[in-house]
Structure 1
Amino acid sequence: MEPSRGAGPAVPPVAAVLPAGGSGERLGGATPKQFCAVQGRPLVSYTVRAMERIDWISNIIVVVSPENIETMKSIIEKYGHKRVTVVKGGITRHRSIFNGLKVFAENEFSSHLLQKPEVVIIHDAVRPFVEEDILSKVVMAAKEHGAAGAIRPLVSTVIASAADGCLDHSLERARYRASEMPQAFLFDIIYEAYQQVTYKRDLYAAESIIKESLSQEVCVITDVKEVVSQVGFLLHESLKSQIKVETISTSLSKNDSHLQNILSGQCYNFVCINDKKCAVQETQQLADMLEKSNIPLLYPVVVVLVHLDTSENISFSIGMEEITRMKKFAKEVKKKNILVYGLLIQYKDHLLLQETVNSAAALIMALIKDRNPELTGQLLVA
């Protein structure tokens, strides 16, 4: 028996999730499609009303982008909509629907958990012309099979292309159907499915957020030599539009109070500039200071060891012995969650120095943002 108005599916109830997080880019206008007025009323209001008039739909979840939450709430108030909960959407439609489901299962997405439905309907917020008969049929089919959706005969011709891009064959339209909204699912099935599908995505998203938070500040350390300090200044100027920069002119062998303050402030990125053939010993002192500060315990610290080549020779002033020593050092401190990269700046043409420093800054930012442990010990050339 199919549900009808006022007497539909028994308890637990049916809920509807309406994703309405589109930006309206395809319309070419500033107003998202769901908020465009039709006869003086926003389109989304018509869709909410189509669900609201069905008594057996207990809760209507409208998922909108963060910037449109207040707009949606004002629409609900203005048109007197009932049984509606507004939820903040995610960065994708997939994430937005998942957020809509979470109001029945996770407290962080609702001030109080709504009663978990047996079946949830998912329907586009911009499609108000949906009949109760269709909704009841997909609900009952979902109760029986776990998932169901509306379909229609194919109208357009669908073609398959060959490897060379030419037409291979067209589908026999009578044998296929187009899938449409509304769709309905047993809540437990769809919620578990979204949890499984989003697991890896959530890991990647979390990793991206962490990397971004660690890439907010860099400490540039130079010695007191004029040529090194000059490069440090130019690098500071090139980096400061992208990241907060603290520049210190000191020897790492000294207990510099400014550096100690930066370490206590949990900085995760360091650039050490020198013109020595091998500065591994001084960099080891920085690594020891970082280890004592416990900064690398939670997240990896990036140290870019910049070698300033001031020789007039065409060949590099840093040889294989120094490169091998740096690789060995990088391998050792990598175990302590300190990622060391080498960067060579050739100071041969004063006129091209700024351009070279800009290239170095771009490489440094890439290393800081990517934090790739596989590149540690490599010598890059700006």
Structure 2
Amino acid sequence: MEVERGSVDGPARPAGCPAGEAASGDPLPGRRSVDFPVAAVLPAGGCGERAGIATPKQFCAFLNRPLLSYTIEAFERVAWIEHIVVVVAKENLHQMMDIIQQFSHKKVTVVLGGSTRHRSIFKGLEAFREQSDGVTLRKPEVVIIHDAVRPFVDEDFLLKITVAAKDQGASGAVRPLVSTVIATTSEGYLDHSLERARYRASEMPQGFLYDIIYRAYQQCCETDFEFGTECLHLASHYCGTKAKLIEGPPTLWKVTYKQDLFAAEGIIKDMLSHNGCVVAGGCAPSVQLACELQKTLEARSMQVDVISGPPGSRAVLVSGTWNFIHIAVDSSCLDDMAKLVKTFQDSKHAVLYPVVLILVHLNLQPQCSVTERMRALGAIRSLATEAKHGNILLYGILLSRDKALEQWDESMENVAQIIAALVKDRNPGLVGQLLVA
């Protein structure tokens, strides 16, 4: 098997396209276009035994969303993938249908799996034959098989796998071995070790000409169905297909253990924290503070856009950003925030990823006591509670202007630090709190 080194550095970040919209799919210069039908099969029938948790790991949630939904989205946003067949166990069927509805997945067909991995994949492939209800999905020329618990796969690498499968009949992702593989004796002693440089770890995704992998499964024996796990082996053994192996990025790892769920959540949070949008009112102090925040936050490697005008404008959504800082200087700020919250709710911008919305109240009246200021903004908690139901995390920061230049610069650093922490952590425990910078 030939190994080709990939050039993909990491997963496409969630903000790559606005929620609910697919990427254009237009080929980049030098890339081959996909002008043939492509589909994906995601086996998701595992019980999560190795994770040591009661809920199968593909249905475990972080940021209020099941792991499986993140993987589905990675395929749905690829315009040239027509259908996604998700294979689940019978006991998880209703839960899967709820996920499709809640997160507005459009390309998904759900089928019931078998008792083993290979049986489930075969069931997924059979979905492109006539089904019991008379509905038939268009048979793809290339089918991609991918684990439901590998959410960080991007379009560039899927394209490499798809094109190689079209040309060679089969293709698969590989990664270098991290540890040396050894063989042991029956008594538990070292027998021998393998030369690590000669071997690779087989990963997903894998791509196949549909007719080849379907024919391979038709010829499988019971031993294959019961104990086999490697799809590329079936294509080679039963169809004589030589698979093209492509070295994939480190982000192709599989969520296997409980701690992997925390790692996946950390990656998603990190990807969501790179961009922000400052919404400034029309007054000069608000615009000035917005520009200062932009400069301070960008010094922390956060790309920030500044938008002036009505806070309810849908223009703030078109960038695909999930972090917004609204600057207010008077008591009408909560009305403005309520309009912004409604904008997110109406557009369903927070369906896939939680939106962070931070109110920075710039106090221009130094004679007001802290108690009076906090009382005036006390309603932020009720608004935050309502927003939280829509996956919108609303926080407040109080900033006073009555400071010397040196103190003001320090306050700006404090505000930027608080904003960066709120955006990165997305801590639901701080929702509705008013922080003083």
TM-score by length of 2: 0.44
State TM-score, norm by structure 1: 0.50
Q: RCO higher in 1 or 2 (8 Å CA, sep ≥ 6)?
A: 2
